[in-house]
Structure 1
Amino acid sequence: MAEHQGSRWLKPAALFVFALSGTAGLIYQSIWSQYLGLYLGHAAYAQSLVLAIFMGGMALGAWWASRRSLQWRNLLRAYAVVELVIGIAAALFHPIYLAATGFAYDSAFPAMPGGWAVQAFKWTSGALLILPQAVLLGTTFPLMSNGLMRRLRKEDGAILGGLYFTNSLGAAIGALVATFILLPAVGLPGAMRFGAVLNLVVAIAAWLLARSPEEVPAAAAPTAALHGRGGITRLLLVAAFITGATSFVYEIGWVRMLSLAFGSTVHAFELMLAAFIGGLAFGGLWIRKRIDGYAQPIRIGGFVQIGMGLAALASLVLYDRSFDWVAWFMKALSRSDGGYALYNIVTATVSMVLMAPAAFFAGMTLPLFTFALLRGGGGEASVGRIYAANTVGAIVGVLATVHFLIPILGLKLAMCASAAGDLVLGLVLLRRASTATTRTDGTYLGALVASGLALAVALVAARFDPDAMAGGVYRSGIRTISEQGFKVLFYRDGKTASVATRASRGGLVTISTNGKVDAGISMAPDGKPSADEITMVMAGVLPLLYNPHPRTAGVIGFGSGLTTHTLLGDPRLERVDTIEIEPAMVEGAKVFGKFVERAYTDPRSHIHIEDAKTYFATNRSRYDIVVAEPSNPWVSGVASLFSKEFYEFVPRHLQPGGIFVQWIQLYEINDELVASVAHALSSSFHDYRIYLSYDADMLIVARADGPLGDLHPEALADAGLKGLVERVDIASVDDIEVHRLGDRRSLEPLFDALSGRTTSDFHPTLSLEAPKTRFVGLAAYAIAGLPKADLPYRAAIAGLSLPPADRITDNPSYAFTGTVHRAARLASTLRTGHIGQGNADAEAIASALVLRDAVGSCDGDEKLDGRTIDAIVHVAGRTIPYMDTAAARELWNTPEWIHCTSQTKPVRAVLDIVAALARADWPVVQRDATALLGEKGEYLSVTSKDWLLRAAMLAAIAGGDYAAVAAIDEGVGRDVAGNGVTLAHRGYMLALADRKAAGEAPPRTQDASVH
């Protein structure tokens, strides 16, 4: 009697518990994808393996539970024990992962011959990391559903549908919670522990629900309906297999399709996954209250399969419109944090529009097929058998999609083939379930005609236009590349990404992955290079200049192939290995022809399709040079090539004295994230120097086992490199060194001021935050702005003096060199009053003319002191940091252009400070700038106060008076406002002074004997 009364709350309590179990399960799936992405080397491979093993393990667990359930008297208690064990395994997963992958890289891979053996070991060991938990997860649905059906003994279909709904809904929530809440808060290990706590709660709740034993049903007797001439068991198992396979073809296909519209970010992937699982959940909800009333569940299943195929085909036709939707929203949304939140809502909404209808039908299939087998007398084993067949189908669907269907057929035909499978299955089920009455009502014929017509329409109407798919609308807000002035030269859907090569009318050819341009080369007849070419050539040239005896080099990421081509221009190199994970990238870059030909034709060039870490470990490779040029870190899976763990791995594969070069962009990111990458690299490299190849790209040149030493410029004169370096205006050491930002000693305090975090694989702040900085359109303003600043930071802090302007090539792609030449023209205007030819800073020219009137010839007015001082500060800031010492001293210290000696006291004071700055008289700059700020003169504008404050702080650092820096900032600088960049530079100087005052803390590095 008590049990009967308890049944009122047993069902809702069990549904809630099973929803929590689904949440924990999808937290695991999401986090396992992150872990295995680090191990397998690409997020797409990891997602396919996790999906396959997740589903396969659940199939095995479901099959095993269905075989054993009749031997257990209390399935809910067994379920509680399983949930407890899953939680314990989750809590232990992180240390087990570290031990297993450490063994693979350090012992297993080096001992293997490479090739298939390494791949087999990597995929098998990756699978074994999650298979035990997946098997246990697979037992949960049969145990919970059979346990409930034993206790309630009615509405079996409603129980199945209800459990499927709540578990799937919990799973959709779990996918979102994992990525948007847990990963930012507690990282991968913390997310696994949170899932473990959920499992513990579920286990306790299930144990309490299972206080009394269940009534074990008798084993089902074989019936003619099941095993006779007209038996349906095999048909239902095959149907479950097919629908499992097609469902996951759709899921992977949709994710790849929508990545071209929304970008390949971790946020987008989880939103798409949640949309798919949400569709499954509501399919289960819809069927749960109807299923028990179906007289012919197989016939209903046939209609459902046809509906699933038709919905999938409709999504392909709608997909073409998604680029229009994204283009509209990109123009409508503000580029802000709030705008990014709305962008994610748009991503989720469009994902639901495309994915949810077919997923809704897919959510009905498992309960329907299970119920049909139960009604036929299959007994409790029906649940596990159908579930197992469905998940085995999912495994086949996942692996076939990633490794065969998409690479061979492309996205469109892969999806159409899957939809055709659903339509055929639906027609077979309708035919098998037909009766004498239904055979003549035209239903089957109508379904057949509708299916064929829909498939034909989709093949024609779903354009899958490369013009849109290659356009990167999520970045540009423009639907197609033709609207951007480009045309498609090459397009291919590869295993991990869709690769396109595009050409502009002006001759710029770019190569992109999932719409994100990774490299561009100008193939125009005028011979002018693109900005990307400077980066790629410098990435190859710099390590050749720092390593006097290079023999071997490894390049991570093929891109356009230009960096590999550049390295091969040095005859000293005997071998260059280029490691690229996507084969289509290597094929697409062939369009660049002669610009990258050595990468393809030089016998010293070897291209390997593999994950870089696996290749290095397997081949026990040790190089004189390693260059890392991955894609942008907001792309899902790429951030692991900017992490602390990656930088711990690289030195083990460098020869003594080996040089490592890391590229990172300064656009679509912020200063803090870039600084966190620099901190990660600092943990394993003894010394580094940083270059800006152009205004938005940064190259870090590092050495792990000692100081970098001097440049060896002989390589620049070699015939194989001479044409390349001349083309991009770095043909001399002077031209290269003007790109240098600083070294570890001078720049680490800046990174300390910008960020206290270190990028890590297991706390992936970079991959989580970079998508937002991309959307908002931020840049690392403080870092990129350092060489363009209005004070000589590079000279005073890093000791980087400039040669005369006539020894520096004016590179149009690098603003610093242009500013050097503009500074020389500005100085001429100040001296002569004439505006010279060439590009000029109009505002600075105007300020120079004001100075000539107000300061040079005593035409000033005390009422205009503020304007005059602003002009002095402005012109000083546009000349002194961009001139060699002699030129700056000549312009400001004993200037011929100042004929007047009766300036007002404030103007004279500022002129004296500027003159002291020009001759590097740091004590005078510090004393006089501090004193002038202390007078609180109303004639000083906010801009001038900020400049004088920073000048005083910089002078204190350059003069070695480190204790005074904070005193100046706290004293006269307390109320001095600044902008984001100048405030960051003030923080930089404070951090540098603190470090110097503390005795220059030793670099954050491991033991130098990392080799």
Structure 2
Amino acid sequence: MLITPTIFMGMNLPVIVEIFSASQKKIGISIGKVFSINTLGTVLGALLSGLFFIPAFGIKHTFEIGIAINIGMAIILLFFFDKIKPISKTVFSILAIFIFVGFVWIVPSWNTSLMVSGIFREFSLNPPATYADFKKHYSDREILFYKEGIGANVGVTRIKDELGSKILIINGKPDASSTLDMNTQVLLGQIPMMLHPNPKNIFVVGFGSGVTLGSVLTHEINKVTCAEISPEVIEAGYLFKTENGNCLADKRLNVVVEDALTYLKLAKNKYDVIISEPSNPWIAGIGNLFSKEYFERCKTKLNDDGLMIQWFHTYELSDDIMKLILHTFKAVFPYAQLWNPQQGDIIMVGSKKPITLNVEQLEEKLQFDKVKKNFHKIKIENVFTFLSCEAFSDEGFYSISGNLTINSELHPRLEFEAPKAFYLNQISTLTSRNDERFRTTTNHLLIRNYLQTHEPAIAELTSALAFHYNESNNYRLSYGIAKLLSEKNPADYTTSITLINSEEKLGMNKLRLTELEKLYRQFPDSPSVVQNYAYDKITEAVYAVSFLKNYPIDDYAKEILRTTKKDSVSQIKAFANLANLYLENSQPQQAYEMAERVSNLLDGNKNLGKLIALDDFCYTYSASSAYTLHYRTAIEYLMGLTMVNRQHSKKEMLGRMIEWRMKN
């Protein structure tokens, strides 16, 4: 459809040059004038369209203005061309004007549903077969707001269902909603306000739906400054008054229509908290908000006890890009945490000083009526549930951040790598695979400090279980909490149902385990039955490990060893498997002992190393040695892992964990 107008537009300049060179004696001057006017028109067209016509009239009418100008210029040029008869010029001019007026009159306004659909994103893998199918897909959505601006097309849609979810859409990309990402929006504001001892002056990058600002304003602060580059986003924010607490009416909020980078460069104030909301680096220009220079600029604008908060996500992203961002952030902020408000979203917290836990202060803040109501919106009812959202301590953050190069303004790697991951529809599993809440070997999570002085009540555990199963959709964590609750309160119906549902979500085959248990009782000396049953019970125990508790697997390990043949081949396989399972089950001492047995067998016969996954064994022996403070062995087998498999997925993380523990 574009080939015809493209050909004619390409003919414009050569035709004009031909006309003027034929009618002028001095060809050089004539052509020079044509190109000068063409350059001037290009500059003025870009400026007027971007700064005036699109904001004032919209994209469609701006195109129509452009068409009208082109037709007008064509008519003027036509009358300079002597080879065409005057009557033909007049007929052509009237016909062109008539067609243009008819086009403007007949052609309807653009389909705003299409403009806000984000079809480039949603249907990249499975596009609709026809335009009718596309329209049907969006027939359940109502357009509440749509406006085209200098930097973005902004829309608000409402889904026609029981919830009536409202979605803020910027350039086809959903940026906020009244339901789906409420956990992230609220906690983005509440995490720093709860952790900081006395926040008074806050800076927020990006307005979004205003929910994060509304959460910040539930606290007793002096001032919040928000830099939003698109005034259309602020205008759309009035449609989220219910969700954001009508934050735009709060006198403590100062919204400036300005680029955040520019504002921070010129700002003289320092802040207790800086919250950065933009989270899609595949969008042009957003990569700068994840550069070392940007984080350093934010750091210089923070007070000594200030907190830097950055929202990010795991979808449309690779593990390498995730490491690049984490490493860049950690290179600037000496102390960092990572929180997981819901599936697919993460929140980075950085500071100049260690973030300390003050339980009394947290409980006091949570008792403020506005704060309490704001947390209740996302089903967080107590300090225990709030703290259980932290997924990585400073140690864990450092371990997974990797040693990749830094993303900087001089070397904007993110600007080029993020679009690739977006179009390949990649998903980073780095944080979900290494979540510190799934083990007890890490003692630096804030909630681990909380548990040293506070035994969680059944009501707190029940609340946390409901949040992580229904809101954050962390089924492994909810399984671990449900397992503990079922021991404390076995008769509770809700806990039992959630335990079963969590098992189903995790793909655990309980029917198989039940049948194996029957066979185990009937045939306690059958190696096949015993080992299948024991390994399934160990897997069940591993899934249940959380920061709260682990379930020792020693009895099942003994059964496996009892029914294992006594030859060195069978023994080394069993020892290696159990070492790995002990480590996964947060029993590093037992893992270390099993790894030692493997090492002793290998010392006697090096060929046995061919029978096991030697790289996984080196990892297990090194990690368990680090956890049990045998650092010489840890380093020795880390070097062995490097020699056996330099590309091992956990090698880099293991090295950084050992480094962190030796330093601290």
TM bucket normalised to smaller: 0.7 to 0.9
Matched, 1:884 2:548: yes
In the TM superposition, 1:829-908 aligns within 5 A as 836-838=496-498, 839-842=501-504, 843-844=507-508, 845-846=510-511, 848-849=513-514, 852-853=517-518, 859=524, 861-864=526-529, 867-868=532-533, 870-880=535-545, 882=546, 884-885=548-549, 888-889=550-551, 892=553, 903-904=563-564
Distance 2:480 2:424 in 1: 33
Aligned to 2:355: 708
Tell me the matched-pair count. Answer: 622
- Does the 8 Å CA contact 1:547/1:659 hold for their aligned counterparts? yes
* One-letter amino acid matched to 1:449: L
Aligned identity (percent) is 18
The structural deviation recorded for 1:727 is 2.0
1:577-726 to 2 correspondence within 5 Å?
577-704=225-352, 706-711=353-358, 712-713=361-362, 714-726=364-376
Contact 2:393 2:444 in 1 (8 A): no
1:59-208 counterparts in 2 under 5 A? none
Distance 1:615 1:829 in 2: 53
1:445 aligns with 2:95: no
Q: CA deviation at 1:807?
A: 6.0
**Structure 1 equivalent of residue 171 of structure 2:** 514
Structure 1 distance, partners of 2:612, 2:464, is 30
Tell me what 1:991 maps to.
656
Deviation at 1:863, TM superposition (A): 3.4
* 1:730/1:662 CA distance change after superposition, 3 Å: same
Alpha-carbon distance in 1 for matches of 2:482, 2:303: 47
3-state SS of 2:296 partner = helix
> Unaligned regions of 5+ residues in structure 1, if any?
1-317, 319-351, 523-529, 1001-1011
* AA partner of residue 928 (structure 1): M
Distance 1:495 1:550 in 2: 34
Aligned equivalent of 2:149, options 488, 494, 499: 494
Evaluate the alpha carbon distance shift between residue 661 and residue 824 of structure 1 in structure 2; reply closer, same or farther with a 3 A threshold: closer
Q: Deviations over 1:260-287 (max 9, x none)?
A: xxxxxxxxxxxxxxxxxxxxxxxxxxxx
* 2:274–2:307 Cα contact (<8 Å) kept: yes
Distance 1:447 1:935, change over 3 A: farther
Aligned pair partner of 1:818 in 475, 479, 498: 475
Q: In the alignment, is the contact (CA less than 8 A) between 2:399 and 2:656 conserved in 1?
A: yes
| Partner secondary structure for residue 398 of structure 1 | helix
Alignment pair present for 1:456 and 2:106: no
Aligned to 1:24: none
**Cα gap change, 1:473/1:426 in structure 2, threshold over 3 Å: closer, same or farther?**
same
CA distance in 2, matches of 1:807, 1:957: 35
Q: Which amino acid aligns with 2:103?
A: V
- Note the C-alpha offset of 1:602: 0.9
| C-alpha distance in structure 2 between counterparts of 1:972 and 1:716, whole Å | 47
User: 2:355, 2:444 → 1: CA distance?
Assistant: 18
* Secondary structure at 1:841 match in 2: helix
Contact 1:556 1:579 in 2 (8 A): yes
- Once the two structures are overlaid, the 10-residue window that deviates more, 849-858 or 506-515, is 849-858
Structure 1 residue 502: Cα displacement = 1.2
* CA drift at 1:796: 6.3
User: Is 1:419 paired with 2:67?
Assistant: yes
1:175 is aligned to: none
- Whether 1:483 and 2:133 are equivalent positions in the alignment is no
Counterparts of 1:764 and 1:655, CA distance in 2: 28
The offset of 1:488, in angstroms, is: 1.7
Partner of residue 57 from structure 2, selected from 385, 395, 409: 409
1:396 to 44, 49, 66: 44
Work out whether residues 824 and 883 of structure 1, in 8 Å CA contact, stay in contact via their aligned partners in 2: no
Is the 8 Å Cα contact of residues 552 and 573 (structure 1) preserved in structure 2?
Answer: yes
Is 1:560 the counterpart of 2:233 in the alignment? no
Report the alpha carbon displacement of residue 920 of structure 1 after superposing the two structures with TM. 5.7
1:805-855 CA-partner distances (Å, limit 9, x unpaired): 4462422455575323323556799999x9942313244234643663466
Q: SS in structure 2 opposite 1:683? A: helix
TM-score, normalisation: structure 1: 0.56
Query: What SS does the corresponding residue of 2:650 show, helix, strand or coil?
Result: helix
Q: Which one has a larger percent helix, Structure 1 or Structure 2? A: 1
The partner residue of 2:591 within 920, 925, 930 is: 925
**Larger RCO, structure (CA 8 Å, separation 6 or more):** 1
The answer to whether the Cα contact below 8 Å between 1:923 and 1:955 also exists between their aligned partners in 2 is: yes
Specify the alignment match of 2:634 in structure 1: 965
Q: How far is 1:505 from its partner?
A: 2.5
Q: Mind listing any 5+ residue stretches in structure 2 that lack a counterpart? A: 129-133, 566-570
Matches within 5 A, 1:713-752: 713=362, 714-752=364-402
> Which SS does the other structure have where 2:246 is aligned?
helix
**Two-structure CA RMSD over aligned residues (Å):** 4.0
- Cα 1:878–1:934 change in 2 (3 A) is farther
Q: Is the 8 A contact 1:406 1:495 kept in 2?
A: yes
Task: Give the letter aligned to residue 987 of structure 1.
Answer: E
Q: Secondary structure at the match of 1:518?
A: strand
Deviation at 1:699, TM superposition (A): 0.8
Secondary structure of the residue that 2:221 maps to in structure 1? Answer: coil
In 1, Cα distance between equivalents of 2:379 and 2:614: 38
Higher mean Cα deviation, 612-621 or 664-673?
A: 612-621
- 1:781 partnered with 2:435: no
Deviates more, 1:399-408 or 1:385-394: 385-394
Counterpart code for 2:44: V
TM-score, with structure 2 as normaliser:
0.82
One-letter identity of the residue aligned with 1:784: S
SS in 1 for 2:202: strand
Per-residue CA distance 1:53-111 (angstroms, 9 max, x = gap) = xxxxxxxxxxxxxxxxxxxxxxxxxxxxxxxxxxxxxxxxxxxxxxxxxxxxxxxxxxx
Structure 1 residues 933, 562: closer, same or farther in 2, change over 3 A?
A: farther
Q: Judging changes above 3 Å, is the alpha-carbon distance between structure 1 residues 918 and 956 closer, same or farther for their aligned structure 2 residues?
A: same
Distance 1:951 1:463 in 2: 64
The CA deviation at 1:561 is 0.7
1:504 aligns with 2:165: no
Find the aligned partners of 2:112 and 2:158 in 1 and give their Cα distance: 13
What residue number does 2:623 align with? 954
Instruction: Give the structure 2 partner of residue 305 of structure 1.
Output: none
Contact conserved, 1:582 with 1:609, CA < 8 A, in 2?
A: yes
Question: How far, CA to CA, are the matches of 1:406 and 1:749 in structure 2?
Answer: 48
Work out whether residues 667 and 779 of structure 1, in 8 Å CA contact, stay in contact via their aligned partners in 2. Answer: yes
Query: SS in structure 1 opposite 2:649?
Result: helix
- The structural deviation recorded for 1:363 is 3.9
In the alignment, the residues of structure 1 paired with residue 221 and residue 485 of structure 2 have an alpha-carbon distance, to the nearest angstrom, of 47
Contact residue 678 and residue 751 of structure 1 kept, 8 A: yes
Checking the alignment, whether the CA contact within 8 Å between 2:274 and 2:308 is kept in structure 1 is yes
Distance 1:870 1:370 in 2: 87
For 1:501, give the aligned amino acid.
V
> In the TM superposition, what is the alpha-carbon distance from 1:871 to its structure 2 partner?
1.7
Whether contact under 8 Å (2:440, 2:586) holds in the other structure is no
Q: Distance in 1 between matches of 2:555 and 2:295?
A: 51
2: CA distance between counterparts of 1:355 and 1:654? 54
Equivalence map 1:235-314=2 (5 Å) = none
